[in-house]
Amino acid sequence: MANKKQPVSRVLGMGPIEPDVSGSSRINVDDTERIWSAAGGALLATYGLRRGSFGGLLLATLGGFMVYRGASGYCPMNQALGRNTAEPKAEDRAVDSVEIVKSLTINKPREVVYAYWRQLENLPRFMFHLSEVRQLDNKRSHWVAKLSDGLLAKTLGTVEWDAQILEEVKNERLVWKSLADARIDNAGEVRFIDAPNGQGTEVHAVIKYRPPAGQLGSAIMKLFNPAFEEMIKQDLRRFKQLLETGEITTIDGQPSGRKSEQQSGKKPVSEHAKADEKHESAML
């Protein structure tokens, strides 16, 4: 997808908005990079392990390495190359923004779909990488990302940023942008359109973000973007599941013959299952 010339958002006539060059992309300090390493690494490790093939193992190993690096702030590769990302270099300019596009059709009326999304506090119910979104006023909101439990969270603390809705047409579209100094500079647009023949609502989402500056930034982006893209797509699938069925489809917590999962049948331990517990009380 990344190597196609024209961004898909152009085909849809969407995504005119660009994320600011402020936080993640301007300050090429080791802290920002550590967060990216950790978040991306955790993602890679998850997807890699799920895949369970040789390629998956490779991904998982790479992922594990990135997590280690993120958590420790030490990169043997950088060490070997004799570079230190904490010291900005002349060639470390802001990297182009990266776009992720996902469209799907939800079998519910447009007003219902829009209203659920516009209540930004709802987002973490299906966006599992967010732990909280708080509306500050009608346009501004505060976002808290969920990195993962344990060591990582302890080392890095939380990743938070403010965002602002720039444009809002009720039941039709929302455009937003992160505010200055966000850890992850991002911007996006969501459109809600009636699907033909009463098939419900088409949701078109374009999300753009700026990876950390410099060469390492583009390298990280190349590595992580497929995982981020997959994550956003999963988020939207869960949004659809939640709206259509009132619950999120999952197998987490079911029994298997794998020794590592032996206890899981008794009590759900994973992220998915925990979020599902939340949903039970928050059913539509």
| Minimum separation from the CB atom of position 193 to another protein (A) | 15
Kindly give, in sequence order, each residue whose CB lies less than 8 Å from that of residue 94, ignoring residues fewer than 6 positions away: 21, 25, 26, 210, 213
| Minimum separation from the CB atom of position 280 to another protein (A) | 6
Cα distance between residue 14 and residue 189, in whole Å: 7
Q: Which residues bind another protein (CB under 8 A)?
A: 50, 52, 105, 107, 199-200, 230, 233-234, 237, 240-241, 244-259, 261-268, 273, 276, 280, 283
Kindly give, in sequence order, each residue whose CB lies less than 8 Å from that of residue 68, ignoring residues fewer than 6 positions away: 41
Between 138 and 260, name the residue whose CB sits nearer to another protein: 260
Between 77 and 269, name the residue whose CB sits nearer to another protein: 269
| Minimum separation from the CB atom of position 239 to another protein (A) | 11
Asked if residues 217 and 85 have their Cβ atoms less than 8 Å apart, the reply is: no
| Minimum separation from the CB atom of position 247 to another protein (A) | 4
Between 81 and 269, name the residue whose CB sits nearer to another protein: 269
- Write down the residue that tokens 């599941």 correspond to: 241
Between 157 and 246, name the residue whose CB sits nearer to another protein: 246
Tokens of 277: 């517990």
**Distance of alpha carbon 194 from the chain centroid:** 26
Tokens of 37: 């390493």
Between 150 and 257, name the residue whose CB sits nearer to another protein: 257
| Minimum separation from the CB atom of position 257 to another protein (A) | 3
| Minimum separation from the CB atom of position 161 to another protein (A) | 27
Cα distance between residue 52 and residue 205, in whole Å: 30
CA 90, 26, 158, 38 dihedral sign is: negative
Between 64 and 226, name the residue whose CB sits nearer to another protein: 226
